[in-house]
Amino acid sequence: MKYMMLVYTAEDAYVGGEREACVAESVALCHELASKGKYLAASPLHPVSTATTVRVRDGHRLTTDGPFAETTEQLGGYYIVDAANLDEAIAIAARIPGARKGTVEVRPVFELLGLPK
């Protein structure tokens, strides 16, 4: 079985050197998992202020600033893509079938050095 683990925290939850400590601990965990063959991928995300929301309704693409904030819709899947820029990422997001019924939130991945390959 593969599992996806979604990490929720308040953006101001880490103070002082806590963020650096969190990164170090996460990287160590990833290496431990990789040594047991259990690591697939992991990464922090840029803050929610960098989020863009994409929906497709009646064939029209709607792009808006900000995170997804609808309480009736639930996280149903994920894609990790390598795109040249946000425009390409938005174009891909609009092709995801879920964008026609629900919402796709596009968040840039924070490129963390030192994670297992």
Partner 1 sequence: MTGMREFINELYVRESRRVFSTLVRLLGDFDQAEEAMHEAFAAALEQWQQYGKPASPRAWLVSTARFKAIDAIRRRSQSERMQDAVVRRVDVLSSINAERAAHDIEDDRLRLVFTCCHPALSPEARVAMTLREVCGLTTEQIATAFLTTPTTIAQRIVRAKAKIRDAGIPYEVPSPADLPERVASVLAVVYLVFNEGYSASSGDTLTRADLSAEAIRLARLLVTLQTGPEIMGLLALMLLHESRRTARTTPEGDIILLEDQDRSRWSRALIEEGRQWIKRSMKSGTVNVYALQAAISATHAEAATSAATDWGQIVRLYDSLQAIAPSPVVELNRAVAVAMRDGPDAGLNLIDAILARGDLAGYHLLHAARADLHRRMERKPQAVEAYERALELAQQEPERRFLRKRLRELNERD
> Can you give the binding site for partner 1, defined by CB under 8 A?
46-47, 49-52, 61, 63-66, 83-87, 89-91, 106, 108
- Residue whose tokens read 């174009």: 91
Q: Which residues contact 7 (CB under 8 A, 6 or more apart)?
A: none
> What is the Cα–Cα distance from 11 to 102, expressed in whole angstroms?
25
Which CB atom, from 34 or from 107, has the smaller least distance to partner 1?
107
Of 79, 53, 84, which Cα lies nearest the Cα of 68? 53
Q: Which is nearer to partner 1, 29 or 45 (CB)?
A: 45
Please report how close the Cβ of residue 53 comes to partner 1 at its closest, in angstroms.
Answer: 9
State which residue, 34 or 86, has the beta carbon closest to partner 1: 86
